[in-house]
Amino acid sequence: MKILVPVKRVIDYNVKVRVKADQTGVELANVKMAMNPFDEIAVEQAIRLKEAGTATEIVAVSIGPDQSQETIRTALAMGADRGIHVPASHDTEPLAVAKILKALVEKEAPGLVILGKQAIDDDSNQTGQMLSALLGWPQATFASGVEIAGDALNVIREVDGGLEHISSKLPAVITVDLRLNEPRYASLPNIMKAKKKPLDQVSLDDLGVDASQRLTVVKVEEPPAREAGITVASVSELVDKLKNEAKVI
């Protein structure tokens, strides 16, 4: 079975994001970028399924500017077999991404698509669900446990109140949550090997997808800052402040 894993290039999660002075977006120039952390978990899961003999090939896909190829190389260094880069704007919306992925699924015929549950830049949490609806495939979102036997798929989902167990049949779409696994680091030899792994480009025209923006970003601004607080010297002072000043207890 082939597994398709979409990976997104985002601002590294350790970087403090700065809003541009003209309020058109956030500063991306000269900022450290990395693979979306949830996508790392998705890549790791695909590799584990391959190591277990369930999957035979892992295809990493990234949609975005040329630098997205670096993100694909990261996936290849972790253990994916080949990559596909679809050149597009950094701001390609989830619906367009889902349409692009659908077209790639029709071309590549994977048995499973594993995605991160959300990208930590736009925090939309939409793409996997949209892809599943467009394909008419089962969806298993927010997975913290994945088990595959033949074409049977059992997933444990993280929901607000706890956990949920569901079963479906492959082919299916899975979106992964934090606790599914701990992604491996790519070793130096594997990073070298990844440079030789195949990486193809497929254009939006080849796929016949219109990726134009549907939403207009009117403004991007900084959130209101909190006023600086005070340091209290003791637990007694804290309790006194909460009772008599803040009046919250």
Partner 1 sequence: MSILVLAEHDNNELNPATLNAVAAAAQIGGDIHILVAGSGCGGVADAAAKVAGVSKVLSADSAEYANGIAENMIPLIMSVIDGYSHLLAPATTYGKNILPGVAALKDVAQISDIIRVDDADTFQRPIYAGNALATVKSGEALKVITVRTTSFEAVAAEGGSAAVEAVSATGDAGKTTFGKSELSSSDRPELTSAKIVISGGRGMQDGSNFAMLEKVADKLGAAVGASRAAVDAGFVPNDYQVGQTGKVVAPDLYVAVGISGAIQHLAGMKDSKVIVAINKDEEAPIFQVADYGLVDDLFSAVPQLEGEL
What six digits make up the tokens of 28? 């991306």
Closer to partner 1 by CB, 53 or 234: give it.
234
The answer to the question of residue 221 lying near partner 1 (CB under 8 A) is yes
Q: Minimum distance between the CB of residue 13 and partner 1, rounded to whole angstroms?
A: 7
* CA proximity to 186, closest of 34, 33, 15, 28: 34
- Could you give phi then psi for residue 98, rounded to 5 degrees? -65, -40
- CA 171 from chain centre, in angstroms, equals 20
The answer to the question of residue 231 lying near partner 1 (CB under 8 A) is yes
Q: Which residue has the tokens 């692009």?
A: 100
Looking at residues 74 to 93 of the shown chain, list those that interact with partner 1 (rule: CB under 8 A).
Answer: 93
Closer to partner 1 by CB, 66 or 245: give it.
245
Closer to partner 1 by CB, 203 or 212: give it.
212
CA–CA separation, 182 and 32 (whole Å): 22
Number of residues engaging partner 1 in binding (CB under 8 A)? 78
Looking at residues 3 to 62 of the shown chain, list those that interact with partner 1 (rule: CB under 8 A).
Answer: 11, 13, 16-17, 19, 26, 38
| Measured torsion, CA atoms of residues 148, 112, 142, 180, in degrees rounded to the nearest 10 | 50
Question: Contacting partner 1 (CB under 8 A), which of 21, 29, 188, 215?
Answer: 215
CA–CA separation, 63 and 76 (whole Å): 16
Question: Contacting partner 1 (CB under 8 A), which of 3, 112, 115, 130?
Answer: 130
Question: Contacting partner 1 (CB under 8 A), which of 111, 125, 190, 202?
Answer: 125
* CA proximity to 110, closest of 61, 155, 65, 67: 61
Closer to partner 1 by CB, 55 or 140: give it.
140
Q: Which residues are registered as beta bridge partners of 147?
A: 154
Question: Contacting partner 1 (CB under 8 A), which of 28, 95, 191, 207?
Answer: 95
Question: Contacting partner 1 (CB under 8 A), which of 166, 170, 191, 202?
Answer: 166
Closer to partner 1 by CB, 144 or 190: give it.
144
Closer to partner 1 by CB, 29 or 246: give it.
246
The answer to the question of residue 190 lying near partner 1 (CB under 8 A) is no
Q: Minimum distance between the CB of residue 229 and partner 1, rounded to whole angstroms?
A: 4
Which helix (H) or strand (E) element contains residue 88?
none
Tally the C-alpha atoms within 13 A of residue 45's C-alpha that lie toward its C-beta: 31
Question: Contacting partner 1 (CB under 8 A), which of 28, 138, 191, 193?
Answer: 138
Residues present in the chain in total:
249
Q: Are 202 and 68 in contact (CB under 8 A)?
A: no
- Could you give phi then psi for residue 24, rounded to 5 degrees? -95, -10
